[in-house]
Amino acid sequence: MRAYLLVIAVTALMCAAATPAVRRLALHGRAYTPRRLRDVHTRAVPKLGGMAMVFAALTGFTVAGTIPFMDGIFADSRPLHGLLVALGVVVITGLVDDLWDLRWWGKLTGQIAAALAVAVGGIRVEAMPVGWIAVGSELAQIALTVFVIVLTMNAINFVDGLDGLAAGVALIGGSAFFVYSYLLTRTIDQFDYSNLATLLMALLVGATAGFLPYNVYPARIFMGETGALLIGLLLSTAAVAVTADVGALGGFRFRNVPAYMPILLPLAVLALPLLDLVTSVIRRTARGSSPFTADRGHLHHKLVDGGYTHPQAVALLWLWSFLVSWGAVSLNFVDDAIVLPVLGAVLLATAAVVMHPGRRRERRRRRALRRGEDGPA
């Protein structure tokens, strides 16, 4: 564990140190996020913050390669080379989009290319987690892996709409995934605790922890497309690696980790982004628009439009992510009969608050009228 904590600390410190420099570069190059009708922010904010996250992740990855504890991860270089190629594609795609605003098909092409690099490198969906049905065809493995990675990238991209929201969701979910992956590794291998999925989550936790102080409301810098693609790449690659590891070892043969966790946890970590992605696609398709057409119908938009302040909306969505992801992890430590009822009740209460912001808007309007202000606050 100490080796992973060292990687997290190095990555976080490097991201915290690099972000101000990247911000100055973005200001000098006038790389701003434009003010659009669907946006919540009211001023031009520099982007390119994802470049600091990439730099920090690469630094943490390099440090991990020098730690003897993690020799098992670096023993086979082919998957790592594929991952690094994918990271390069992410940087190019994200940087071009952040500077010149790519069309949707250009972004999708870059996402597919990055996912293909991971799959061709050998990190693939080798078994379906439901019943651990083996995927024997190499072409099918690659196709499923590409689908998972591209889906995750777009899910993170869709939820990146409020200051600190995507970075906070990634930090919360990534930390839960980190604990789970480390626990799983200790359970299935008593001699080697090094694991690629755990390392990727350590890099994600470090990068988002170092970036978040600059990204919370009012944000001084945005992560941009590069940061969203990086988060999606790390999360999805770790999820694929975990299911492959468990499937290869006979997923039901470990004592301390429920057998359904490799299915449940990735979905729990991505619950909020996936929910927003699915509802956005349905909403846009129903009105005859492209699923990739941007609008102001996301959940975070509805919270702000309904009466919550910017920080309140982010805090509620962070809370939702924490309950779902860490609630899933807690099933490893606490009896299901205790966790599930408590978690269900808290989730229902949180959902009721999240889905009914209109009362807050009315109260704010009445307070504004009492103060003699014109219109809603």
User: Binding site residues, as ranges?
Assistant: 157
Separation of alpha carbons 333 and 112, rounded Å: 37
Contact criterion met (CB below 8 Å) for 151 and 280: no
How far, in Å, are 162, 315, 318, 337 from residue 216 at the CA level?
A: 9, 10, 12, 37
Contact criterion met (CB below 8 Å) for 166 and 314: no
Token pair for 368: 């504004």
Cβ neighbours of residue 193 under 8 Å, at least 6 residues apart?
A: 1, 69, 182, 185, 186
One-letter amino acid of 25: L
Measured in degrees and rounded to the nearest 5, phi and psi for residue 325 equal -70, -50
Token pair for 354: 């999240």
Q: What angle do CA 124, 128, 129 make, to 5 degrees?
A: 105
Computed on alpha carbons and rounded to an integer, the radius of gyration of the chain in Å comes to 21
Token pair for 184: 């799983």
Tokens 């020799």 belong to which residue?
71
Separation of alpha carbons 234 and 153, rounded Å: 9
Token pair for 2: 């100490």
Contact criterion met (CB below 8 Å) for 63 and 2: no
Half-sphere exposure of 229 (CA within 13 A, CB side): 30
Binding site as annotated, residues for Mg(2+): 157
Measured in degrees and rounded to the nearest 5, phi and psi for residue 288 equal 85, 15
Tokens 């995507």 belong to which residue?
166
Peptide linkage before 218 cis (omega within 30 of 0): yes
